[in-house]
């Protein structure tokens, strides 16, 4: 059961014997399982053979990263044979690859119920819990597997790593104290005397300010895999902190009649693809404004380079360069998916903490010409939410697990009417009628959101009123998708789409700085 191999079951018999004491396995996850009955089995051997064929087709599709098609095959297998733990576990893995953690968790639970002795069911459930930041629940499953397989080094490693995470988070809570929050500028007074070494030949701020030449030098410096001096990195963070604290939760943007305006989606630490956007569409300027719609960091291993580039342009063009918070601008996501590790490796853990504070002040959404609302995730579980409700959100916090702020960062559209539970396990899913009602109430033409990989880098849904844009091509070096950005003009708010392919980058793999357990999950 090595984590270095794709964990797909090839035959219905593999690892399918119940372990001693497995009937109580669900206690580790908090509930005693229901034993599978024969009533849900295949009607005949022909049904079982057909189910196995669907499963094998799903396995092949999973290997070629066609996750949606793989899920369809596993679903057909489950329809014919609903008591197979293997089918649920494999479908759970496909959902994990699509970051549909809520669905993955449901299938992990179903796998354990179908066969309490099938240990990969516990792994799937643990992986989903980990991805949702529910480490204690994941630890219960890792502990159970480690006890069942005391000589399995891989099982012991996963249990040990998860234990470390749980203890670390408990320690962080224990040492946290309530005290008046200092601005970074106040904290930076202790850092102003940082010396610049004689051998440093990188970009330098001019009189403490970002200039266009500094930004050009910085991007070339980063392309050469060099680091910005920590003195200037801290200064940029202090300036951004001061600026963002004065911004509202919903920022209004006015685009003049003939002015082009560009909206980009997730970047996820893919610095060289970010540079490609600027090559295709031009550098940011007062004549070429941009909005980047969250998830600047994590997964990609050049997140530090991305975020300092984006923060630098924000300081250079504060009224023509905009940044929205995504669900990955949060401490839970950063600790799991690599950004905290990357900042600590390239700078210090203190700087990682500073980023957490800065991210808390990022605006949650933007409204363009009073007609286009741009947010990272999506719409709400409540009717009658107005733009003024959004303006009043107190955002200086970690994203909550429910409410308007949570849903702005996490929700997704669905094809069918109404609302439904989130496939991610956080936020909601909203249908065309919800989008239409929200736009009508707030006198909007349409919404733009990001948050989801799309084959062409964008998707138009809900009768043109819900547009997704995703700007990280070949996401995580595995998905094969294109990236995209959207352009509009002030006198013509019709969206124009530009798709682009991934460009080469240095041989540093995605998630290189993530916790080893999260690398297994990825």
CA distance 3 to 13: 20
Residue 253, H or E segment: strand 250-253
Nearest to 89 by CA among 64, 106, 69, 68: 106
CA distance 334 to 342: 9
Residue 495, H or E segment: strand 492-500
Catalytic residue (choose from 221, 328, 451, 462): 328
Beta strands 466-469 and 446-449, pairing class: parallel
CA distance 487 to 494: 8
Q: At what angle do helices 303-316 and 230-245 cross, to 10 degrees?
A: 60
CA distance 362 to 329: 9
Which residue matches tokens 């964990």? 7
Nearest to 386 by CA among 437, 426, 430: 437
Rounded to the nearest 10°, the torsion over CA 186, 190, 193, 196 is: -100
Within 8 A by CB and 6+ apart from 10, the residues are 56, 59
Q: Is 366 in the active site?
A: no
CA distance 500 to 470: 11
CA distance 399 to 502: 31
Structural Rg of the chain based on CA atoms: 24
User: Which residues, listed in sequence order, are joined to residue 262 by a DSSP beta bridge?
Assistant: 290, 487
375 burial (CB, 10 Å; 0-12 / 13-18 / 19+) is buried
Nearest to 334 by CA among 514, 137, 136, 97: 514
Query: What is the side-by-side strand order in the sheet with 428-430?
Result: 412-413, 428-430, 419-421
Secondary structure class of 487 (helix, strand, coil): strand
Beta strands 250-253 and 372-375, pairing class: unpaired
CA distance 507 to 302: 11
Number of Cβ within 10 Å of residue 312's Cβ equals 26
CA distance 458 to 497: 8
Show which residues are catalytic.
328
């Amino acid at each position: 059961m090595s984590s270095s191999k794709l964990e797909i079951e090839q035959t219905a018999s593999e690892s399918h014997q119940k372990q001693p004491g497995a009937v109580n396995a669900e206690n580790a996850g908090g509930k005693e399982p229901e034993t599978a009955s024969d009533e849900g089995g295949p009607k005949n051997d022909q049904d079982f053979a057909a189910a196995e064929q669907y499963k094998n087709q799903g396995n092949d599709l999973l290997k070629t990263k066609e996750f949606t098609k793989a899920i369809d095959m596993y679903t057909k297998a489950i329809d014919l044979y609903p008591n197979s733990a293997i089918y649920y576990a494999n479908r759970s893995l496909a959902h994990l690859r699509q970051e549909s953690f809520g669905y993955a968790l449901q299938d992990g639970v179903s796998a354990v119920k179908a066969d309490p002795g099938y240990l990969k069911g516990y792994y799937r459930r643990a992986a989903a819990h980990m991805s949702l930041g529910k480490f204690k629940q994941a630890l219960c499953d890792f502990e159970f597997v480690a006890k069942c397989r005391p000589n399995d080094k891989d099982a012991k490693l996963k249990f040990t790593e998860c234990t470390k995470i749980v203890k670390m988070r408990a320690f962080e809570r224990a040492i946290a104290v309530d005290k008046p929050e200092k601005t970074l500028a106040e904290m930076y007074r202790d850092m102003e005397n940082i010396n610049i070494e004689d051998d440093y030949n990188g970009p330098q701020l001019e009189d403490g300010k970002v200039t266009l030449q500094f930004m050009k030098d910085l991007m070339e410096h980063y392309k050469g895999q060099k680091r910005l001096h920590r003195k200037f990195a801290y200064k940029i963070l202090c300036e951004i902190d001061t600026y963002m604290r004065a911004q509202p939760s919903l920022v209004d943007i006015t685009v003049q009649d003939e002015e082009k305006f560009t909206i980009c989606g997730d970047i996820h630490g893919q610095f060289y693809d970010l540079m490609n956007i600027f090559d295709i569409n031009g550098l940011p300027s007062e004549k070429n404004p941009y909005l980047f719609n969250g998830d600047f960091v994590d997964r990609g291993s050049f997140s530090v380079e991305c975020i300092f580039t984006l923060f630098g342009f924000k300081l250079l063009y504060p009224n023509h360069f905009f940044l929205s918070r995504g669900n990955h601008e949060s401490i839970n996501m950063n600790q799991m998916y690599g950004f905290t590790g990357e900042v600590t490796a390239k700078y210090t853990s203190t700087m990682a903490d500073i980023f957490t504070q800065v991210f808390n002040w990022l605006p949650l959404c933007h409204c363009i010409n009073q007609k286009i609302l741009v947010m990272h995730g999506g719409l709400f579980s409540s009717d009658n939410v107005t733009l003024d409700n959004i303006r009043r959100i107190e955002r200086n916090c970690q994203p909550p697990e429910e409410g308007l702020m949570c849903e702005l960062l996490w929700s997704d559209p669905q094809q069918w009417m109404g609302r439904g539970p989130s496939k991610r396990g956080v936020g909601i899913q909203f249908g065309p009628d919800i989008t239409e009602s929200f736009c009508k109430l707030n006198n909007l033409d349409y919404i733009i959101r990001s948050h989801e990989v799309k084959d062409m880098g964008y998707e138009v849904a809900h009768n043109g009123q819900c547009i997704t844009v995703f700007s990280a091509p070949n996401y995580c070096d595995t998905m094969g998708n294109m990236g995209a950005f959207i352009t509009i003009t002030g006198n013509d708010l019709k969206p124009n789409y530009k798709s682009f392919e991934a460009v080469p980058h240095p041989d540093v793999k995605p998630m290189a700085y993530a916790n080893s357990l999260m690398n297994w999950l990825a």
